[in-house]
C-alpha cells in the first residue's frame, strides 16, 4: 500500500508552485489510495456519513480537497473550502495522515496473521491435552501429583496427635458433672426407659449441659435393658450455625437434594438428569441422640421442619427432577424419594435462654431439665478434679481463689490450664508441676478478671439499709438498697429515687409510703426521702417493694436492720408481701454473697429447693413479719 502511494503522489520537493493540473493529479491519486485502503463500497459509505460524497464528485479542486480532509480526519464538521494557494500544504498533511493509517493497517494485518497462527498452535495443543487426558483415564485416576498428596495424607494420619485439654478434662461419668446431681438424675431417668423422651436442658453457660448429655447417653447404653444400642451415635451441632435455605440446596440438619443443574451432584447422575439426595444430621443420629446446643437460636422455619421429623421419625425428600418412571434411577435413590429415610432419635436441646423465649410447640414435645448455677464450692471441686486429671499439684488456697472469680466450670478449667502452662514455662525441666498462688494471680491479672461477687454480706446492723435480690437470666444478684429521711416542710416533702432503677421500682416507693403510714401513722409528705440502689442497678419488676419499704421504715423510725438478711417480694398498699419470680436464682445469688437469711413471700414457699445448706430461707406474708425477723433483737 505504501509503494502504491509513493507511485501516485507528486513530489513537492521543488520550490515551484504546482499547476492546477498537477494538483488535480495529486488529488485523484489520494482518492485512489483511499479507495484501495477502504474499498470502493466502504469509501462511498464513509463519504456519505461524513457528508463528503458531493465534494468527492465536484470539479472544484478546493471542494475535492475538503472531501479528502473529512475522509482522512473522520470529521464531518469541516466546512471551510480551501483556496488554491492553501491546497499544496493541506495535501501534504493529508498525505502524512493517510501514510500513518496505511502503516497502522499494515501492523494490524501482521498482528492478525500472528494471532491466527497462534490460535492454530493452541488448537493443536488442546487436541494433545485431550488425548493425554483420555490416556490418563484409561490408565487410572492416579498420577505423580495425586500420589504425592496421598503420601502426605498418610504421613499426617500416622503422626501422633497432640493432647487436647478438652479431651483430658471432659467428664466421663455422671459423678464428674459437679453441682448438678439433681439435674443429672433427671436426665438419666428420662433416657433410661423403654420410651426415652426428647429433652430440653436450661441453664447458664459453662455448667456442663453438653458434657452431661454425652455422659448420660454413654451411661444409659451400659444398662442391660437400655433402649440404645452400644453403637448408638451422639451427634452434636450448634443451633447458631443452622440456617434455613429456602432453595433447599443445602441443609446439613435435615438433608437436601442436589439437582442435576446444581454444583455438587455426582457427575454420573448429573449427566443422566437424576437428582441426588444428601442425608442430614437427623439421619446420622438414627437410633441415637441428636444434641443441639443453643437450640433457642435456631431459625424458626428450620425448627418447625425439625418438629415434623420428630413426629414422623422419617425425613422425606422432594425434587422436580425426580421421575419415578425413569429406569436409569438407582434403587436406593428411588426408595429415598418414595419411602423417605428413617430418623428415629432422641432430641436433646440445650439453651441459656429463658423457657418463655422458646417455641411453645418445641417445649410441648420435650421434657425439661434445669441446670443450676455453680456455687463457689462446686467451682473449687471442678478445679481439684481437673488438677487430678492433669496430674499436677496445687497450693492449698488455689481452688478457693479461682472460685471467687468465675461461676462457670469451663472458665475455671481455662484459668487452671493457663496457670499450668505458666508453671510449665517457668520450670521446663521439672516433671512434677506445682501450681502456685502467684501463678494463678498472674493469670487472673493478665485476663483482667475481677471477683464475681462484689457485695459481701456481713454480720451486724445498719439503719436505713437492706439487701434486696434481683435476677437476670439464670443468675441472681444482691442489690444494696439504702434510704435517708429528713424532716421537710409540712405536706410538701419530696421523694427521690434512682432514675436508672426503672418505673416499677419507683412505684414500689409510693406503695411503701401507704404501708408506712398505715404502720406508723406518719405521712411521708412531711419528709424529704432519698432512696438509692447502690451501683445504679436496674430493677425490672416489683420484687424490690418489700426491701424498699423496710429501708424507708428503718430510716424513719431509726430502727436498725440486720446486714446479713436479704429480702424479695412485692409490697401491696395493705402491707402484704406478694409473690415474685426467680426464687431459686435469688437464693443462689444471696448464698454467693454470704447472706445468712433470705425472706421470701409465703406464696413462693413451694419453690424453695430442698437440701439447702449454709442459708436459711423464711417465708413471710406481711411487712410486720419481715420487720420482726430483720430488726435487731
Sheet of 199-202: strand order equals 234-238, 289-293, 346-351, 199-202, 367-370
594 SS3 class:
coil
Are the CB atoms for 440 and 449 separated by under 8 Å? no
The C-alpha cell 465534494 sits at: 55
Residue partners of 251: CB distance under 8 A and separation at least 6? 244, 245, 280, 302
Q: Give me the catalytic one of 211, 256, 477, 543.
A: 543
How far CA 186 is from CA of 173, 182, 207, 295, 368, in Å, comes to 15, 6, 16, 20, 9
H or E element in which residue 365 lies? helix 360-365
| Known active-site residue 543 | yes
Q: How far apart are CA 562 and CA 633, in angstroms?
A: 10
Closest CA to 431 of 465, 400, 392, 382: 392
Closest CA to 534 of 468, 630, 604, 603: 468
Are the CB atoms for 515 and 626 separated by under 8 Å? no
Per 3-state DSSP, what percentage of the chain is helix, strand, and coil (rounded to 5)? 50, 15, 35
Q: How far apart are CA 599 and CA 544, in angstroms?
A: 12
CA 123, 126, 130, 136 torsion: positive or negative?
Answer: positive
Q: How far apart are CA 454 and CA 202, in angstroms?
A: 26
- φ and ψ at 232, to 5 degrees? -60, 130
Closest CA to 507 of 540, 469, 545, 535: 545
465 SS3 class:
strand
Q: Backbone dihedral region of 110: left (phi > 0), alpha (psi from -120 to 50 degrees) or beta?
A: alpha
**CA Rg, the chain, in Å?**
45
Query: Strand 234-238 to strand 256-258: parallel, antiparallel, or no bridges (unpaired)?
Result: unpaired
Q: How far apart are CA 28 and CA 67, in angstroms?
A: 12
Q: Give me the catalytic one of 563, 578, 586, 591.
A: 586
Reading the block at residue 407, the C-alpha cell is 461461676
Reading the block at residue 525, the C-alpha cell is 409528705
* Cβ neighbours of 258 (radius 10 Å): 20
Q: How far apart are CA 465 and CA 589, in angstroms?
A: 18
Instruction: Tell me 76's DSSP state.
Output: T
Alpha helix positions (H), 430-559:
437-446, 503-520, 545-557
H or E element in which residue 143 lies? none
Per DSSP (E only), the strands in 396-474 are 434-435, 461-463, 465-472
Q: How far apart are CA 396 and CA 375, in angstroms?
A: 19
Closest CA to 541 of 566, 504, 572, 583: 504
Are the CB atoms for 617 and 507 separated by under 8 Å? no
Which residues are part of the catalytic machinery? 543, 586
Amino acid at each position: 500500500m505504501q509503494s502504491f502511494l509513493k507511485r501516485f503522489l507528486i513530489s513537492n520537493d521543488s520550490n515551484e508552485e504546482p499547476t492546477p493540473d498537477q494538483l488535480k493529479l495529486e488529488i485523484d491519486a489520494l482518492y485512489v489510495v483511499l479507495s484501495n485502503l477502504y474499498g470502493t463500497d466502504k469509501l462511498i459509505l464513509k463519504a456519505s456519513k461524513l457528508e463528503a460524497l458531493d465534494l468527492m464528485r465536484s470539479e472544484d479542486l478546493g471542494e475535492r480537497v475538503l472531501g479528502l480532509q473529512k475522509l482522512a480526519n473522520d470529521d464531518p464538521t469541516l466546512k471551510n473550502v480551501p483556496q488554491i494557494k492553501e491546497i499544496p500544504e493541506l495535501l501534504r498533511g493529508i498525505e502524512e495522515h493517510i501514510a500513518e493509517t496505511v502503516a497502522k493497517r499494515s501492523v494490524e494485518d501482521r498482528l492478525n496473521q500472528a494471532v491466527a497462527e497462534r490460535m492454530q498452535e493452541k488448537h493443536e495443543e488442546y487436541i494433545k491435552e485431550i488425548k493425554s487426558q483420555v490416556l490418563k483415564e484409561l490408565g487410572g485416576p492416579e498420577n505423580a501429583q495425586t500420589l504425592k498428596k496421598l503420601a502426605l495424607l498418610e504421613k499426617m494420619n500416622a503422626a501422633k496427635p497432640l493432647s487436647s485439654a478438652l479431651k483430658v478434662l471432659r467428664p466421663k461419668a455422671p459423678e464428674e458433672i459437679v453441682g448438678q446431681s439433681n439435674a443429672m438424675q433427671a436426665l438419666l431417668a428420662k433416657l433410661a426407659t423403654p420410651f426415652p423422651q426428647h429433652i430440653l436442658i436450661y441453664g447458664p453457660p459453662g455448667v456442663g449441659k453438653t458434657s452431661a448429655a454425652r455422659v448420660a447417653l454413654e451411661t444409659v447404653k451400659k444398662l442391660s435393658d437400655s433402649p440404645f444400642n452400644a453403637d448408638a451415635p451422639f451427634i452434636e451441632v450448634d443451633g447458631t450455625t443452622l440456617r434455613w435455605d429456602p432453595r433447599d440446596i443445602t441443609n446439613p440438619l435435615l438433608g437436601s437434594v442436589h439437582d442435576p443443574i446444581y454444583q455438587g451432584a455426582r457427575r454420573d447422575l448429573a449427566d443422566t438428569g437424576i437428582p441426588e439426595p444428601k442425608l442430614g444430621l437427623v439421619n446420622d443420629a438414627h437410633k441415637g441422640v441428636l444434641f443441639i446446643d443453643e437450640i433457642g437460636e435456631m431459625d424458626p422455619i428450620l425448627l418447625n421442619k425439625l418438629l415434623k421429623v420428630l413426629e414422623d421419625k422419617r425425613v422425606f425428600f422432594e425434587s422436580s427432577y425426580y421421575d419415578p418412571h425413569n429406569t436409569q434411577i438407582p434403587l436406593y435413590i428411588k426408595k429415598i424419594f418414595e419411602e423417605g429415610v428413617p430418623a428415629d432419635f432422641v432430641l436433646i436441646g440445650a439453651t441459656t435462654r429463658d423457657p418463655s423465649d422458646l417455641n411453645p410447640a418445641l417445649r410441648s414435645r420435650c421434657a425439661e431439665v434445669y441446670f443450676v448455677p455453680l456455687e463457689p464450692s462446686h467451682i473449687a471441686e471442678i478445679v481439684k478434679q481437673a488438677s487430678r486429671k492433669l496430674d499436677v499439684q496445687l497450693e492449698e488456697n488455689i481452688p478457693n481463689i479461682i472460685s471467687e472469680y468465675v461461676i462457670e466450670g469451663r472458665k475455671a478449667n481455662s484459668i487452671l490450664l493457663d496457670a499450668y502452662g505458666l508453671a510449665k514455662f517457668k520450670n521446663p525441666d521439672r516433671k512434677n508441676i506445682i501450681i502456685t498462688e502467684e501463678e494463678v494471680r498472674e493469670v487472673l491479672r493478665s485476663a483482667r478478671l475481677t471477683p464475681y461477687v462484689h457485695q459481701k454480706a456481713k454480720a451486724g446492723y445498719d439503719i436505713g439499709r437492706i439487701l434486696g435480690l434481683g435476677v437476670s437470666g439464670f443468675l441472681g444478684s444482691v442489690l444494696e438498697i439504702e434510704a435517708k429521711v429528713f424532716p421537710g416542710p409540712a405536706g410538701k416533702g419530696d421523694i427521690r429515687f434512682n432514675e436508672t432503677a426503672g418505673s416499677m421500682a419507683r412505684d414500689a416507693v409510693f406503695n411503701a409510703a401507704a404501708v408506712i403510714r398505715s404502720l406508723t401513722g406518719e405521712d411521708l409528705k412531711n419528709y424529704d426521702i432519698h432512696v438509692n440502689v447502690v451501683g445504679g442497678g436496674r430493677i425490672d419488676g416489683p420484687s424490690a417493694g418489700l426491701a424498699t419499704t423496710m429501708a424507708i421504715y428503718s430510716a424513719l423510725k431509726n430502727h436498725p436492720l440486720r446486714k446479713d438478711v436479704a429480702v424479695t417480694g412485692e409490697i401491696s398498699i395493705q402491707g402484704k408481701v406478694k409473690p415474685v419470680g426467680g426464687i431459686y436464682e435469688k437464693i443462689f445469688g444471696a448464698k454467693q454473697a454470704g447472706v445468712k437469711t433470705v425472706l421470701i413471700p409465703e406464696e413462693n414457699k413451694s419453690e424453695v429447693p430442698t437440701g439447702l445448706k449454709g442459708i436459711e430461707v423464711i417465708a413471710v406474708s406481711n411487712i410486720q413479719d419481715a420487720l420482726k425477723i430483720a430488726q435487731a433483737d
